[in-house]
Structure 1
Amino acid sequence: MKIAAATTDGKLIDLHFGDANRFLIFKIEDGEVKFLEIREKTPIPVNDHQERWVASIDLIEDCKAVLCSKIGEEPTIELRKMGIKPIQLDCDVKEAVKECSNHLLN
């Protein structure tokens, strides 16, 4: 199972879903969290709000959850339709991914 995290520095979950230019992707395997890769989004103008969050969804479509500081109603609905759980929080990336994996695996 893969989990995406919206972060500016790789340490804190600190980005709005649509504002994230990159996502850290973690893989949960045999109960262990492993960093997999960084996925970067092509820059999209700030005024093209819908295109920004649609591009974010395209980057993480194979993930089971996405961790971000904020997320709007429309992207939340679209993610849930795809079976991706959006989780809003402001905390340490490693703690959040581990806690999320515990929750999703149980």
Structure 2
Amino acid sequence: MKIAVASTDGKVIDLHFGDANRFLIFEIEDGEGKFQEMREKTPLPLKEHTERWIASIDLINDCKAVLCSKIGKEPTIELRKLGIKPIQLDCEVKKGIHECSKHLLS
């Protein structure tokens, strides 16, 4: 199962979902997160806030969860419609992935 992480440095979950220009993608195997790839938004000027979070959803639509520091109500609803669990955390990426894997695999 894939999860997306919004992080500026790959160490700490520190980005708002809509503000993230990239997501780190991890594959959960045996309760461990294994880094797979980094996905970046196309560098087009997105004028409206809605465009920014829609672009984020398009980028991670094959993931089961997304870890971010904050997320708004509208993107939360849209993610859930796609079966993607939005999880707000303010911690290290490694710890967040571990907690997420325990929750999703239980």
Instruction: Tell me which interval the TM-score lies in, with the shorter structure as reference length.
Output: over 0.9
Q: CA offset at residue 25 of structure 1? A: 0.4
Inter-partner Cα distance in structure 2 for 1:50 and 1:75: 8
Contact 2:31 2:98 in 1 (8 A): no
**Residue 9 (structure 1) aligned with residue 5 (structure 2):** no
Q: CA offset at residue 48 of structure 1? A: 1.4
Q: Which moved more, 1:22-31 or 1:71-80?
A: 22-31
Structural RMSD (CA): 1.1
Aligned-partner residue type, residue 29 of structure 1: E
Give every structure 1 segment of 4 or more consecutive aligned residues whose post-TM-superposition deviation is greater than 2 Å.
Answer: 43-47
- Unaligned residue ranges in structure 1 (runs of 5+): none
Secondary structure of the residue aligned to 2:57 is helix
Structure 2 length-normalised TM: 0.95
Aligned-partner residue type, residue 97 of structure 1: I
Contact 2:13 2:68 in 1 (8 A): yes
- Unaligned residue ranges in structure 2 (runs of 5+): none
**Do the aligned partners of residues 52 and 44 (structure 1) sit closer, same or farther apart at CA in structure 2, a change above 3 Å counting?**
farther
Secondary structure of the residue aligned to 1:102 is helix
Q: Which moved more, 1:55-64 or 1:41-50?
A: 41-50
Secondary structure of the residue aligned to 2:3 is strand
Secondary structure of the residue aligned to 1:23 is strand
Inter-partner Cα distance in structure 2 for 1:8 and 1:71: 16
Q: CA offset at residue 7 of structure 1? A: 0.4
Contact 1:17 1:71 in 2 (8 A): yes
> Between the two proteins, what is the percent identity of the paired residues?
78
Contact 2:2 2:64 in 1 (8 A): yes
Structure 1 length-normalised TM: 0.95
Q: Which moved more, 1:15-24 or 1:30-39?
A: 30-39
